[in-house]
Structure 1
Amino acid sequence: MNLNAVELGFLKRMDNNSGHELALFRQIAMGDEAAFASLFHLYVPKIKPVITQIIRVEGPEKDIIQEIFLGIWLGREKLNEVAMPHNWIFKMVYFRCYTWLQRQGTRNKAVHILGLENPLVSNFTEENLSFSETAMLVKQAIQQLPPQAKKIYTLSREGGLKITEIASQLDLSPQTIKNSLVRSLKSIREFLIEHGVILPLILLEMGVLFFC
């Protein structure tokens, strides 16, 4: 079969993308947070519309995206074994959507939409355990914040309010709010490290695990 110039160009880009993603996976496997952030920004625009299409409701896709990338980070030691990052990530997308639909009490809908009874369950059992343990630790870390710091962090990460909005609501300066968030992130991360868990800053900045 002869390929025209457009088709050859497309295949070349696919090869380049695959090579780039494999390189990111190898770096993430070694704990490279910058590579993790690059993968995050590369894939969020790709998977967000797919998630919305599967769950058929807007809003929870942010939580599902956070779950997916937390799972990638927690299972980073296995990334060296992944030959096709794109396929692997989308398997996680389907699994997390299935799990979300189950939590909503719509198991039959999940099976109907995805066409699978229990997709990838065996592959993600261990990762789910790590996810639950990490979620519990993050909650504990947040609970240990001073009352006002916890309120500011919650309004920002759970409520989705901007710094200026929080400042107006609490009658504080924007700089005070910003400083509080920085200290809270540092405190949460230090708490996790003390308990043997290292999370990329990008996940904490997004308020990962508030949905648990």
Structure 2
Amino acid sequence: MIFLETYSEKKLLKSLVKGKECAFKTLFNHYHKRIFGLARYMGMSVDDAECIVQEVFISIWEGRKKILVNKPFAPYIFTITKRIILKKIKRGTLETNYINNLRNQSPAFQHNTEEYIIFKDLLSHANSCIDNLSTSQKQVFMLSKNEGLSNKEIAKELNISIRTVENQLYRATKEIKQAINEQK
């Protein structure tokens, strides 16, 4: 593994911010095994750990213009990794709890397949509603709900006021609720 010195890391990050794929590949080669190992250490299967590595680097590439080149990169990439792992754990826990609740219901009320399909359909519809939000609403909503950031943290990360975050979050939630209610 190539050791990235502070100077060369800054240079590499500047190239990444400019969209240079060779800088991205260098960072990938330097960090992918460590991210994979962290995911495995956190209990992820091999397949899930590989998916997490991909998600982390997709996130890095998509958000490359926000990277602060004067700050150390390792804490940044591992924070992204931690958030993605926690999101995956939460999603898995939610699905497991839902399935367990279905199993614990009395036999007269069990419609496992039908209810699971309804659950998946509702989840898919909710994700579709989120995708239909404006870019700013979607960004604020995802940082709040998926990443678990506070309004203050979101405001700082996006360089907007807390009031703007609150308004965007309110409007996004209202639109999602309205779209889900219209489906019923």
Give the alignment's TM-score, normalised by structure 1.
0.42
- Greater helix percent: which structure? 2
Please, what TM-score do these two structures have when normalized by structure 2?
0.48
